[in-house]
Amino acid sequence: MNYLPSFKRYRSISLALLLLTSPSLTTQAAEDNCFAMNKPKVKDLTSDNIVDLLGGIYEHSQWVAQELVTAHDPSSFNSISELAATMKSIVDGASREQKMDLLLKHPDLCQKIEQRKKLTADSQAEQSKAGLSDLTAEELELFNKLNDEYKAKFGFPFILAVRNASKYTVLSALAGRVKHTVEKEFVDALAQVHKIAWMRLLDKIDYSDAKGFLTCHVLDTANGIPAEKMRITLHRLSEPAGLVGEFLTNDDGRLEGGPALKGGDQFMVGEYEWTFYVADYFASKGNFVSGTPFLNTIPLRFGIDNPDDHYHVPLLVSPWGFSTYRGS
Amino acid sequence: MNYLPSFKRYRSISLALLLLTSPSLTTQAAEDNCFAMNKPKVKDLTSDNIVDLLGGIYEHSQWVAQELVTAHDPSSFNSISELAATMKSIVDGASREQKMDLLLKHPDLCQKIEQRKKLTADSQAEQSKAGLSDLTAEELELFNKLNDEYKAKFGFPFILAVRNASKYTVLSALAGRVKHTVEKEFVDALAQVHKIAWMRLLDKIDYSDAKGFLTCHVLDTANGIPAEKMRITLHRLSEPAGLVGEFLTNDDGRLEGGPALKGGDQFMVGEYEWTFYVADYFASKGNFVSGTPFLNTIPLRFGIDNPDDHYHVPLLVSPWGFSTYRGS
Amino acid sequence: MNYLPSFKRYRSISLALLLLTSPSLTTQAAEDNCFAMNKPKVKDLTSDNIVDLLGGIYEHSQWVAQELVTAHDPSSFNSISELAATMKSIVDGASREQKMDLLLKHPDLCQKIEQRKKLTADSQAEQSKAGLSDLTAEELELFNKLNDEYKAKFGFPFILAVRNASKYTVLSALAGRVKHTVEKEFVDALAQVHKIAWMRLLDKIDYSDAKGFLTCHVLDTANGIPAEKMRITLHRLSEPAGLVGEFLTNDDGRLEGGPALKGGDQFMVGEYEWTFYVADYFASKGNFVSGTPFLNTIPLRFGIDNPDDHYHVPLLVSPWGFSTYRGS
Amino acid sequence: MNYLPSFKRYRSISLALLLLTSPSLTTQAAEDNCFAMNKPKVKDLTSDNIVDLLGGIYEHSQWVAQELVTAHDPSSFNSISELAATMKSIVDGASREQKMDLLLKHPDLCQKIEQRKKLTADSQAEQSKAGLSDLTAEELELFNKLNDEYKAKFGFPFILAVRNASKYTVLSALAGRVKHTVEKEFVDALAQVHKIAWMRLLDKIDYSDAKGFLTCHVLDTANGIPAEKMRITLHRLSEPAGLVGEFLTNDDGRLEGGPALKGGDQFMVGEYEWTFYVADYFASKGNFVSGTPFLNTIPLRFGIDNPDDHYHVPLLVSPWGFSTYRGS
């Protein structure tokens, strides 16, 4: 049995550490506390609570949640991704005017600080992490210029799902998108709106009953065989951070004991990192390994965005190169 | 200009931190202090100092260094890798009996602690990091069994270049190699001996005049173009550890300003890590990026073993997968 | 010197064979005869000939070519891709109504055969290769159903740049795109229109003065080195088809003698195929190769679409796997 | 149901064509006719027929087959690969002198034509395909020089499993291996001997009861999903050559209907080629595809060497690059 002390145990430790080192959880709180008691599950949604709960998912556009109640039976949703898809389809099926109105409801990223008070609370939290306050004078000038150009060309404010985005992201996205045709940017701006809605939904719903899971597979491309008995660790990088599993591959190169993470309170949205002990493995195969191996331990960082999905994150590796991809 | 404060500056800071936090440098000292004043460069080698300096490179086999002086003009070596290759060719050209003798000069990894005193100082330092003292009773029993089997089958002790190797490496290498044919393992054991000699040589010689350098290239395989304006950082993980550069790719996907590391006191043997800001990049391209991107920042860890070589360590990346390899 | 008998020579032979075996060049003629005497080069374009020549590039929409003459100096275009980009920008900058009108000018792929006479000659040639006449009764029913649904939802006919497309392509593209939002499909339909315009432009202009070229690079990922002395051949698969070069890699894994194809009458739009003799190479390296190697000769098929571009088409290969990508 | 007319049917057609077009099957016969009536299966081996049948597998070294009878129960072998592994282990366990004797039993590739009559029939057939008769005067001189050097250094003749090898293979393998150490080349020469034995064994045994099979999987790395409804064909390139299957991927990107080839008379040693219709697929996904797509149909050529193994040969593909590997 190679699956080490369970995720739950590690998570408890991490949470404890988190509480010790982060007395004021502030803006991270919603994300960290994603399985808190007071959040409803999808199956807890009713015609009575759905608009209160999800009315703010689409910016100042409660009509989406209202339409959800009107046209759908809340008890018919089986998962958070199905719920999100339904809300998305309501927006996608709306008229061009309604979509434009939705875009226009979004705040201008460039508005001055004193104007931020008028934003919805959700938007404020997200913008506070964008690093826009760190813009140099030059960057700010460029940003204002591009932002003005954007609004003049498209007729709606620049929208970017900004959680975790730096000022570099904002500037490069703005510079890239201002070149779009009017029709293309309308489509892309709506995609950003859906992305923001999805992130907000994940904060509102307890998705611990989701069906997603995480698997791995290691192929040795130098020898053309599955990589047997390779050690792998898995860390969660998002809060609550910490080691969540230690594994050994079996003779098919897969993890002993099934998925690395599966449902319950294990398979949480966030950032993770495998570490593969590849030099150890190749040493056991008799492949020559130089004094300081080109590849010794390989960190492989990836994000889990949809708690209902299967994430297969494999490694194809020789002593001189590797690749990974989202598999199935 | 995107190349941040020079390597030298970061290295100074890192060294300072190192001195503050590691008052007793102990076994790491030789590695950390690799450019110290008192080490000769390859061009400083003479018939008079070569045997003293390099006599211990091959375990208890001063004859290799002596042959080096006898058959070669010390002033003819242009690089540390050329020097190593010449010493290797002396061993490779020796008789089977001499090679067997060289193998037999190596200590048995399994010898009891009280016997370690008889080992050369170099071997002691390397074994102390092997984690053999952490073997559980079960692992120790397995290790002893395999080690006995190995010696009985091959007639020489199990040799593994063990710096940075864990007990897992030792056990899996032993278990893998004990299955070899006698002839194959003779070849592989000698490869380990050469590897140990190389690591020792790097500790004895100041190679700051070596010609190696490090380059990068980022290809966007989702759009079939070089990845322009992607932010990349480079950290050194081995001591002296720290940030050594921050870069932006140009319109050919390469680093502005040439190699990331080049000669002098920059291009040191050791472990490094690129970090690529790929989600920022794809956001600027209009590729859809999910709330928690599958790939956000990609760490890419690699080792530099030969200070005379060009290391090209590129990234091929789409929003859903990536690969790397030692290029040219 | 490893670059075998020149491209021109092989091409002559191929053309001779082509003439012998294909007495009636029919619909392929325009493509095959791409460098014929009577086509103008970009630099031959004038205000007088441009509308006649390029008026049909965008379906029944001469206004694009007229605007080209009005707003641009025909002598200012340096390349066919620059010319195409300018025509595209004229369309992209037009009003939504003009774009919709352009979409509506396109024939309905589903129109009955008797209606085809009304189509422009260009469209007819392209549809004749779509294999739509090979639709089974079932497929035809599905096609009609999807096509009706498409027109009802989006208000313009289904447009697909169909040269070389089979009935499978048409059906799957239709089935995929009918699910788009109205805004997204408007954008994608216009992209198809631009693609058709580009293919037509390539047929109208002699681009033998274009600056593109083709290069290669082979990396051995099993040994972490450039693959030296690997034999490679290059065939052109589009007409005029035939062997166009035979190469050997140098010690950096690149082709001796520079680009495989470069300008003049060498670097033509069309489909090509490298063949890499990888088992031979690995045999020379001492890598074990099984009786029937997993990889012996690797065919690598790729298309050149833009005669002004650099196409770098490398191979990363071990005895057990390989990858390629459009590089730079 | 997407699995087209069965392999057996295509194979029959191919065989018929083969008989029509190749009246003298000559040296190819043994390979082509691999499931002929008169070959025994592994389970048909007895103490009485084993030496007659397999005595020539190792060149002039009947002792290997004799030891097989003496030390093993012929009825205990479950597969051809197990049989081969046992014979290999007999050789591997022999003394160094016996191994050297086995190497010395092999003919010198350089012997003059008049001397070839003395070779065993098996060796003659293999050398006749090596293209050695096509050596130019210069190449012949180089070959003789390297061959003399080889024999002088190692004391045994140069051995290369030459079926399907060209003169380029022979020359590059010889040039590469002559640089080895004596001990390394002894190991590599024996590996060649085992490889020859394996190819001979496949010619002697009817392995139609082997358990191997062939599978596929297509991942779309541009969209991070399995590639659904991609058309794939499979051709056998070795004789009997021909189309052996046509497939469509399911919603997990795998072949509808299970393995593409499985046991019986389907899964034969030899060379195969997938063709993937990737441009059709990406057109259906709405990915932009240029006029002449960079990747349209991808041929993927691979060899099946062991009829007892599972061959998983997947494709990871974006519109701008792809990779494959021997999976599991």
Check B294 against D183: CB less than 8 A apart: no
Q: Which residues of C touch A321 (CB under 8 A)?
A: 221, 224, 316
Tabulate helix, strand, coil % of chain D (nearest 5): 45, 15, 40
Q: With 0-12 CB in 10 A as exposed, 13-18 as middle and 19+ as buried, what is D95?
A: exposed
In this complex, is the C-beta atom of D155 within 8 Å of any C-beta atom belonging to chain B? no
Q: Is the pLDDT of residue D284 over 90?
A: no
Query: By the 8 A CB rule, do B194 and B90 touch?
Result: no
Type and span of the H or E element at D187: helix D182-204
The 3-state DSSP class for residue A272 equals strand
Look at A316 and C321 and tell me if their CB atoms are within 8 Å: yes
Average pLDDT (A19-34) is: 30
Which residues, given as ranges, of chain B have pLDDT below 70? 1-37, 110-133, 162-165, 288-290
Cβ <8 Å between A172 and B283? yes
Written as six digits, the tokens of A287 are 């492949």
Active site residues of C: 106
Report the pLDDT value the prediction gives residue A132, as an integer from 0 to 100. Answer: 67
Using CB atoms, pick whichever of A96, A183, A221 lies closest to residue C318. Answer: A221
* Of C219, C252, C326, Cβ closest to residue B224: C326
Compute the radius of gyration of chain C from its Cα atoms: 23
Residue type, A167: K
**pLDDT given at position D219:** 96
Q: Is A290 on the interface with B (CB under 8 A)?
A: yes
> Quick one: angle between helices C182-204 and A182-204, nearest 10?
140
CATH of domain D34-204: 1.10.3330.10
DSSP B20: H
Range C35-204 has CATH code 1.10.3330.10: yes
Q: Of D153, D203, D208, nearest to D177 (Cα)?
A: D153
Which DSSP string do the residues of B251-309 spell out, in sequence order?
TTSBBTTS-SEESTTTS-SEEEEEEEEHHHHHHHHT----SS-SSSEEEEEEEE--TTS
Q: Is the CB of B323 inside 8 Å of chain C's CB atoms?
A: yes
Q: Check C328 against B221: CB less than 8 A apart.
A: no
Chain A interface, best mutation among D216, D288, D328, by max A CB count within 10 A: D328
Closest-CA residue of D relative to A254 is: D328
Decide if D326 and A253 are in contact by the 8 Å CB cutoff.
no
Cβ distance B323 to C323 less than 8 Å, yes or no, reads yes
Are B183 and D96 inside 8 Å of each other by CB? yes
Q: Are residues B253 and B219 in contact, defined by beta-carbon separation less than 8 angstroms? A: yes
Evaluate if residue C249 carries a pLDDT over 90: yes
| Nearest C-alpha in B relative to D288 | B223
| Chains near C (3 or more Cβ pairs under 8 Å) | A, B, D
Tell me, what's the pLDDT at B131? 63
pLDDT of res. B172: 83
- What is the signed CA dihedral for C67, C71, C73, C76, rounded to 10 degrees? -90
The alpha carbon torsion through A127, A129, A131, A134 (nearest 10 deg) reads 100
Handedness of CA B80, B84, B90, B93 (dihedral sign): negative
How many Cβ contacts (< 8 angstroms) between chains B and C?
Answer: 31
Interchain CB distance below 8 Å, C303 and D326 = no
The residue ranges of DSSP E strands in chain B, in sequence order, are 213-215, 218-220, 225-226, 231-236, 242-248, 261-262, 270-277, 297-304, 310-312, 315-318, 321-325
- As given in the structure block, the two tokens for residue B321 are 């997968």
Query: Which pair of tokens denotes residue A135?
Result: 């813009």
Closest chain D residue by Cα to residue A326: D224
Query: Which of B228, B292, B322 is the best substitution to test chain A (most A C-beta atoms within 10 A)?
Result: B292
For residues D134-152, average pLDDT: 89
- Read off the pLDDT band of D62 (50, 70, 90): very high
Question: Which residue in C253, C323, C326 is closest to B328 by CB distance?
Answer: C253
Chains that touch D (3 or more CB pairs under 8 A): A, B, C
Catalytic residue flag (residue B180): no
CB contact under 8 A, B327 and C219: yes
Query: Is the pLDDT confidence value at D291 over 90?
Result: no
Q: Which residues of B touch A279 (CB under 8 A)?
A: 169
d(CA D88, CA D54) in angstroms, rounded, equals 13
Q: Mark yes or no for CB contact D328/A221 under 8 Å.
A: no
- Selecting from D183, D190, D318 the residue whose C-beta is nearest the C-beta of B222 gives D318
Q: With pLDDT > 90 as the criterion, what percentage of chain D qualifies?
A: 63
Residue C223 distance to chain B (closest CA, Å): 9
pLDDT at residue A30 tops 90: no
Is the pLDDT reported for residue C19 higher than 50? no
Mean pLDDT computed over C255-274: 91
Question: What's the pLDDT tens digit per position in A61-93?
Answer: 999 999 999 999 988 899 999 999 999 999 999
Chains near B with 3+ CB pairs less than 8 A apart are A, C, D
Contact between A221 and D253 using a beta-carbon 8 Å cutoff:
no
pLDDT digits (tens, 9 = 90+) for B271-316: 999 999 999 899 888 776 667 899 999 999 999 999 999 999 999 9
User: How do the domains of chain A map onto residue ranges?
Assistant: 40-204, 213-323
CB interface of B with A, residues 216-255, below 8 Å: 229, 231
pLDDT digits (tens, 9 = 90+) for C123-152: 555 544 446 667 788 888 898 899 999 999
Task: Spell B154-164 as b/e; 16+ CB within 10 A means b.
Answer: bebbbbbbbbb
D136 to chain B, minimum CA–CA distance in Å? 33
Fold assignment, A40-204: UraD-like (1.10.3330)
Among A91, A102, A193, A318, pick the best mutation site for testing chain C contact (most C Cβ within 10 A).
A318
Answer yes or no: same fold for A40-204 and A213-323: no
The stretch C209-230 carries a mean pLDDT of 94
Average pLDDT over residues D10-38: 33
C303 contact residues in D (CB cutoff 8 A): 290, 292-296
Helix (H, G, I), strand (E, B) or coil at B41: coil
**What confidence tens digit (pLDDT) does each residue in A303-314 have?**
999 999 999 999
Structure tokens at B83: 């020097």
CATH code linked to domain B33-204: 1.10.3330.10
Reply yes or no on whether the pLDDT at C183 is more than 50.
yes
The residue-averaged pLDDT of D272-300 equals 88
In the CATH scheme, what is the homologous superfamily, with its name and number, of domain D213-323? Transthyretin/hydroxyisourate hydrolase domain (2.60.40.180)
Residue A179, both tokens: 């070149």
pLDDT value of residue B28: 30
ipTM of the complex: 0.86
Dihedral angle of Cα D107, D112, D116, D122, to the nearest 10 degrees: 50
Cβ pair A219:D323 closer than 8 A = no
CA–CA separation, B166 and A129 (whole Å): 41
Please tell me the least confidently modeled range out of B5-19, B265-279, C48-62, D71-85.
Answer: B5-19
Give the number of A-B residue pairs with CB atoms closer than 8 Å: 160
Distances (CA, A) of B67 to B63, B76, B94, B99, B201: 6, 15, 11, 14, 16
List the single residue in D184, D186, D221 with the smallest CB-CB distance to B320: D221
Residue B293: closest CA among chain A residues belongs to which residue?
A303
pLDDT at C21: 25
